[in-house]
Amino acid sequence: MARDDGDDDEAERALEQVRTICLGLPEVSERLSHGAPSFFIRGKKSLAMFHDDHHGDGELGIWCPAPPGVQSQVVETEPERFYVPAYVGHRGWLGMRLDRDPDWGEVAEVIREAYRTVAPKKLIALLDE
């Protein structure tokens, strides 16, 4: 089910929140990837992808790498908020819905954990300073 055109404001607000969180991390940049706003560490390593109605799925969310075992745990316990994303789910990535009154502190924590999962150790150390 496609999202309504009236949801554009919601999607733009969500993207701005995600953008602020991601770009606040060391050496993260943004560019389009596969037509979606995406965030990369040092311009190469994928950190997060923002999706609004990806292939007509009706979802507004982010996809990001998760520490080993986390994806299955949270998808099983909270399927209304988390899901296995297409294309990258088999690699342990986690999908998080943003169209269901997200807790932005929790969204930030999920993104920070994704960063810790894939960033070089020197950059991770900057988070702990």
**End-to-end Cα separation, the chain, in angstroms:** 44
Q: Predicted confidence band at 33 (pLDDT cuts at 50, 70, 90)?
A: very high
Q: Predicted confidence band at 56 (pLDDT cuts at 50, 70, 90)?
A: confident
Distance (Å) of CA 106 to CA 43, 48, 103: 25, 15, 5
Single pTM value for the model: 0.91
Distance (Å) of CA 34 to CA 49, 51, 55, 91, 115: 10, 10, 11, 18, 21
Report pLDDT for 6.
Answer: 55
Q: Is the pLDDT of residue 12 over 50?
A: yes
Of 3.40.50.300, 1.20.1050.90, 3.90.1150.30, 3.40.50.720, the CATH number of 5-127 is: 3.90.1150.30
